[in-house]
Amino acid sequence: MTAGGEVFWDGCAVGEFRLLRCDGCGQVDHMGPSRCRRCHGAELTWIAAEGGGTVASFTIVRRAPSAGLREWVPYGLALIDLDEGTRVMARLAGEPEDWRIGGRVRLCFIAAGEAPGDFAGDRLPAFAPETGEAACGS
Amino acid sequence: MAHPLRAAAGITGIGETPVGELPGSSALSLMEDAALAALDDAGLAVADLDGLVTSRSMVAPLHRAAVILAERLGMTPELFATLEAGGATSLQMLNYALTAIGAGRARHLLCVAGDNLLTGLSRDLAVQAMAENADAEFEVPFGTFPPAAYALAARAHMHAYGTTAEQLAEVAVAARAWAALNPAAQMRQPLDLAQVLAAKRVAEPLGLNDCALVSDGGGAFVVSEPSAAAALARPPIWILGAAEAAGHEYITRAPDLTSFASALAGRRAFAMAGCRPDEVDLAQIYDCFSITPIITLEDLGFCGKGEGGAFIEGGRTGPGGDFPMNSHGGLLSHAHPGKPGGIFHLTEAVRQLRGDAGRRQVAGAELAVVTGVGGMFSAHATAILGAAR
Ligand SMILES: [Zn+2]
């Protein structure tokens, strides 16, 4: 795992969705870059996302891409525009009928089993519609 | 002033292997077969080549595929490149060859791609291929794979512009209708809109028929310098424009989910060729998923942004339609061997411009556009080919 990936997934294990903020220009980014994508500065600080965001798009995966995911289909997969100003990929939680582009969502963590790779399978970041109740479920 | 590389080279030979399920084939055997077929078509021998360009294999670890193929063919090439831009690789090979020939570095270059994705891809390799198309730490753990990434774009397009599942299905239906006329195609049984819409969903809104096939197969083409081409039996098909553009790599990083760097590659290619989309007789548009041509046609300027669904409606891209597209059957119904996928869009364009397409012949085809897309709408290449210079 890369250094950035390690910090991110360590964050998930303690209930944080970690982002990087550039000390030089303030740009907030995701996916663990070693330098700021805007000013190329190397001084970046990890922050925890506040947890709110908007759905940019989503899909419901019905055919598992790998054997490990077979027992988890169907699942919602989304791109979320976080309030911090960066886009992230995550699962969707809550009721599929509440999932919509432009809808407000909030961070939670779900147990998603054997995700590919060596990741904390029971602490997978997901986003649930703010209007739904008991959004993340069990 | 005309672009210095406009028609600086032409395509003088094409070769294709059978496609579909080819037990016993390998990436290398398919590349060899396609290479020799293209040379034969051009009336050239291995000794006439100054170099070769290949794509990588997803199945075999051919790290220096061009060097390996050169060894197999008994060549000592001066130019040898193994390129990697996913489904844009075939047109990237064309652009490389055009540029090298235009710079006076070569007279004849061979471009080859082949892979046995259907018979050679083990479960482990399939998972690895999935990981190749997404960030291993920030995307793959969520269960993304190519159909899901393209589904994200499809839903965004439907939401923004009202594109419908029926319009997506039209792309698959037209591809199948063309494939029915192509004895070489992998999937030829009839397919209608209702069947496409009723098929199992893979990643909503995309269903089974909205997704490319998985195939074994290979293709090749020879690119030649004009005076060298003039010595051959048949006139070349001219490369009037060739351009590339890379946007994001990962779908999470796409600045826009409904328009991509295809717009840049398209604009550059048409500018180089000195022609407009409405002058094109045949569109060979990369179709890894049904949403891909809809967005690409918009990005290339065939219609306005958001109008792609309506543009392809009513069967007009199929046989007999007024906007023939992917007349070989495309990745959706002819074949999709992975990285070599787009090569058949190119070889079919050459066949059509030569007037050799038989039952699929588009009457009066003189100008064709060919596109390729690599990754998750990531890497784009466009070529404009002409029967006349
Ligand atoms: Zn910065």
3-state helix, strand, coil in chain A (%, to 5): 15, 35, 50
Q: Residue A116: is its pLDDT beyond 90?
A: no
For B127, the closest of A58, A102, A116 (CB atoms) is: A116
**Nearest residue to B383 (alpha-carbon basis) of B346, B338, B334, B331:** B346
Q: How far is CA A81 from CA A29, A85, A110, in A?
A: 11, 7, 19
Cβ contacts (< 8 Å) between A54 and chain B: which residues?
none
Task: In whole angstroms, give the CA distance from residue B176 to residue A54.
Answer: 38
**Cα of A133 to nearest chain B Cα, Å:** 23
Task: Find how far residue A134's CA is from the centre of its chain.
Answer: 19
**Residue A28 near chain B (CB below 8 Å):** no
Q: Which own/partner contact pairs does B350-357 have at CB distance under 8 Å and 24+ positions apart? A: B350/B11, B350/B14, B350/B221, B350/B237, B350/B385, B351/B14, B352/B282, B352/B327, B353/B237, B353/B282, B353/B385, B353/B386, B353/B387, B354/B234, B354/B237, B354/B387, B357/B327
CB A116 to CB B201 under 8 A? no
Question: Mean of the pLDDT values across residues B241-253?
Answer: 97
Residues B229, B230, B234, B235: what is their CA dihedral angle, to the nearest 10 degrees? 90
Burial B266-295 (b: 16+ CB within 10 A, else e): bbbbbebbebeeeebbbbbbbbbbbbbbbb
Question: Mean of the pLDDT values across residues A2-18?
Answer: 94
What pLDDT, on a 0 to 100 scale, did the predictor assign at position A138? Answer: 42
Task: In whole angstroms, give the CA distance from residue B120 to residue B129.
Answer: 12
Q: Which chain B residue has its CA at the smallest distance from A119's CA? A: B141
Model-level pTM?
Answer: 0.96
Q: How confident is the model at residue A132 (pLDDT cuts 50, 70, 90)?
A: low
C-alpha A18 – ligand 1 centre gap (Å)? 17
**Nearest residue to B296 (alpha-carbon basis) of B263, B325, B336, B252:** B263
Beta bridge partners of B221: B14, B111
Cβ contacts (< 8 Å) between B130 and chain A: which residues?
65-66, 116
Q: Residue B79: is its pLDDT beyond 50?
A: yes
Q: Is B371 helix (H, G, I), strand (E, B) or coil?
A: strand
Q: Is B325 helix (H, G, I), strand (E, B) or coil?
A: strand
Do B116 and B28 form a contact (C-beta atoms < 8 A)?
no
Task: In whole angstroms, give the CA distance from residue B365 to residue B323.
Answer: 11
CB B143 to CB A4 under 8 A? no
C-alpha A127 – ligand 1 centre gap (Å)? 27
C-alpha A35 – ligand 1 centre gap (Å)? 8
Do B142 and A89 form a contact (C-beta atoms < 8 A)?
yes
Show the domains of chain B with their CATH numbers.
Answer: 10-121+215-237 (3.40.47.10), 144-214+239-386 (3.40.47.10)
**Cα of A79 to nearest chain B Cα, Å:** 7
How big is the CA angle at B370 (ends B365 and B45), to the nearest 5 degrees?
85
Q: Residue B250: is its pLDDT beyond 60?
A: yes
CA atoms within 13 A on the CB side of B63: 0
Collect all residues from B whose CB is shorter than 8 A from any CB in A: 123, 126-127, 130-131, 135-145, 147-148, 151-153, 155-156, 159, 200-206, 250-253, 257
C-alpha A42 – ligand 1 centre gap (Å)? 8
Q: Which CATH class is domain A3-129?
A: mainly beta
Do B376 and B150 form a contact (C-beta atoms < 8 A)?
yes
Task: In whole angstroms, give the CA distance from residue B325 to residue B311.
Answer: 12
Q: In the numeric block, which tokens belong to residue B368?
A: 């064709």
Question: Mean of the pLDDT values across residues B130-157?
Answer: 92
Annotated domain spans of chain A? 3-129
Task: In whole angstroms, give the CA distance from residue A90 to residue B148.
Answer: 12
For B203, the closest of A31, A59, A102 (CB atoms) is: A59
C-beta atoms surrounding B343 within 10 Å? 33
Residues B319, B320, B325, B328, CA torsion sign = positive
Cβ contacts (< 8 Å) between B144 and chain A: which residues?
65, 77, 89
Sheet-wide strand order for A44-48: A28-29, A18-22, A44-48
B174: left (phi over 0), alpha (psi -120 to 50) or beta: alpha
What pLDDT, on a 0 to 100 scale, did the predictor assign at position B122? Answer: 77
What pLDDT, on a 0 to 100 scale, did the predictor assign at position B111? Answer: 98
Q: What percent of chain B has pLDDT over 90?
A: 93
Cβ contacts (< 8 Å) between A117 and chain B: which residues?
136-137, 140-141
Q: In the numeric block, which tokens belong to residue B30?
A: 């398919």
How big is the CA angle at B135 (ends B96 and B67), to the nearest 5 degrees?
35
Cβ contacts (< 8 Å) between A124 and chain B: which residues?
141-142
CB B137 to CB A112 under 8 A? no
Q: In the numeric block, which tokens belong to residue A5?
A: 């990936």
Q: Residue A27: is its pLDDT beyond 70?
A: yes
What pLDDT, on a 0 to 100 scale, did the predictor assign at position B254? Answer: 97
Sheet-wide strand order for B10-16: B79-83, B51-55, B108-116, B216-224, B10-16, B237-246, B379-386, B367-374, B282-284
Q: What percent of chain B has pLDDT over 70?
A: 98
Do A110 and A136 form a contact (C-beta atoms < 8 A)?
yes
Q: How far is CA A37 from CA A4, A25, B254, in A?
A: 14, 10, 14
CB B155 to CB A58 under 8 A? yes
**Cα of A65 to nearest chain B Cα, Å:** 6
Question: Mean of the pLDDT values across residues B77-91?
Answer: 96
Question: Mean of the pLDDT values across residues B159-180?
Answer: 98
Beta bridge partners of B325: B283
Do A78 and A93 form a contact (C-beta atoms < 8 A)?
no
pLDDT in tens, B301-356: 999 999 999 999 999 999 999 999 999 999 999 999 988 889 999 999 999 999 99
Higher pLDDT, B340 or A18: A18
Q: What is the DSSP string of B238-307?
A: EEEEEEEEE--SSGGG-S-SS--THHHHHHHHHHHHT--GGG-SEEE---SBTHHHHHHHHHHTSS-TT-
Q: Residue A117: is its pLDDT beyond 80?
A: no
CB A77 to CB B142 under 8 A? yes
C-alpha A40 – ligand 1 centre gap (Å)? 6
pLDDT in tens, B343-370: 999 999 999 999 999 999 999 999 999 9
C-alpha A46 – ligand 1 centre gap (Å)? 13
For B141, the closest of A67, A78, A117 (CB atoms) is: A117
What pLDDT, on a 0 to 100 scale, did the predictor assign at position A41? Answer: 97
Tell me the one-letter amino acid at A128. A
For B155, the closest of A31, A67, A101 (CB atoms) is: A101
Q: Return the minimum-mean-pLDDT range out of B35-44, B59-68, B144-153, B215-224.
A: B59-68
What pLDDT, on a 0 to 100 scale, did the predictor assign at position A113? Answer: 61
Residue from B138, B150, B251 whose CB has the most chain A CBs within 10 Å, to mutate: B138
Strand boundaries in A23-113, DSSP class E = 28-29, 44-48, 52-61, 75-82, 87-92, 104-110
Report A:89-128 residues touching B (Cβ under 8 A).
Answer: 89-91, 101-102, 112, 115-117, 119, 124
Q: Which residue's entry shows tokens 């397919």?
A: B191
Beta bridge partners of B108: B224
Q: What is the DSSP string of B61-111?
A: --TTHHHHHHHHHT---SEEEEE--GGGHHHHHHHHHHHHHHTTS-SEEEE
Cβ contacts (< 8 Å) between B136 and chain A: which residues?
5, 117
**Cα of A77 to nearest chain B Cα, Å:** 7
Q: In the numeric block, which tokens belong to residue B110?
A: 């061979």
What pLDDT, on a 0 to 100 scale, did the predictor assign at position B56? Answer: 92
